[in-house]
């Protein structure tokens, strides 16, 4: 069956319009300051054992089954004790999370950040390091490591070098420096186009003992 040219044009317009709506995150974006306030409030609930995500999981699962609009991007460590959804007392669909050992970013992570900003409407990026990070500990103790762990050590070494000589705990200093360098890399290399001016990139440091996140806001 052949379609009339007018019908083909109509179908094309509908498809393109649907794509534009789906790819345009402006209607659902949460401003960076509001997103940060939500994270701070959630972390306070978690740290004081008053967790109470805003909606029951079942209801939220149904609500987000066909669409998602996370209000923040978390670039965190793969450490099993640092799950952002728990630390910030958030529900399914609230956070777009990227996790690697040492919260490092590569092309895949950068592409994920760009996608979350461009297609999902997220406007806050948090680089979340944490106390006693194992990846940074390894890099602090040696310039190399076996297997693919060496890739982690290699990428963290500049932060280790930059943190040497600073007052305070050597490991904590290296972790903070690593977080700062990861944030700087995202600012420099993430291709966000016209949306770059709307996006805020900050650093957080999770205390394993207290459950609290300390913020470095720029």
- Report pLDDT for 167: 97
Q: Residues 40-82: pLDDT tens digits?
A: 999 999 999 987 655 678 888 998 899 999 999 999 999 999 9
212 half-sphere exposure, CB direction, 13 A CA radius? 5
* The pLDDT of residue 206 is above 50: yes
pLDDT, averaged across the chain: 89
Class of domain 28-216: alpha beta
Q: Domain coordinates of the chain in residue numbers?
A: 28-216
Residue 116 reports pLDDT greater than 70: yes
pLDDT at 3 over 70: no
Cβ(179)–Cβ(215) below 8 Å: no
Residue 218 is predicted with a pLDDT of 67
Q: What is the mean pLDDT of residues 161-170?
A: 97
What does the alpha-carbon distance between residue 217 and residue 100 come to, in Å, rounded to a whole number? 22
- Candidates 67, 64, 72, 82; CA nearest to 38 is 72
pTM: 0.86
Instruction: Out of 16-30, 41-55, 139-153, 190-204, pick the least confident.
Output: 16-30
Q: Which residues contact 209 (CB under 8 A, 6 or more apart)?
A: 131
pLDDT-based confidence at residue 28 (cuts at 50, 70, 90):
low
């Amino acid at each position: 069956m052949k379609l009339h040219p007018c019908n083909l044009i109509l179908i094309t317009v509908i498809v393109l319009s649907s794509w534009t709506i789906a790819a345009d995150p402006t209607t659902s974006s949460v401003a960076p300051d509001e997103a940060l306030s939500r994270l701070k409030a959630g972390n306070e609930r978690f740290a004081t054992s008053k967790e109470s995500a805003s909606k029951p999981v079942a209801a939220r699962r149904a609500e987000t089954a066909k669409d998602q609009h996370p209000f923040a991007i978390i670039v965190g460590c793969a450490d099993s004790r640092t799950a952002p959804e728990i630390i910030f007392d958030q529900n399914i669909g609230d956070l777009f999370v990227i996790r690697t050992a040492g919260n490092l970013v590569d092309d895949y992570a950068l592409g994920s950040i760009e996608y979350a900003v461009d297609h999902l409407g997220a406007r806050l990026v948090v680089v979340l390091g944490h106390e006693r990070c194992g990846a940074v500990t390894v890099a602090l103790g040696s310039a190399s490591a076996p297997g693919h762990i060496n890739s982690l050590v290699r990428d963290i070494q500049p932060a280790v070098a930059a943190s040497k000589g600073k007052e305070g705990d050597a490991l904590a200093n290296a972790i903070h420096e690593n977080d700062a360098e990861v944030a700087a890399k995202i600012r420099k290399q993430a291709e966000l186009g016209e949306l770059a001016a709307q996006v805020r990139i900050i650093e957080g440091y999770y205390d394993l003992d207290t459950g609290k996140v300390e913020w470095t806001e720029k």
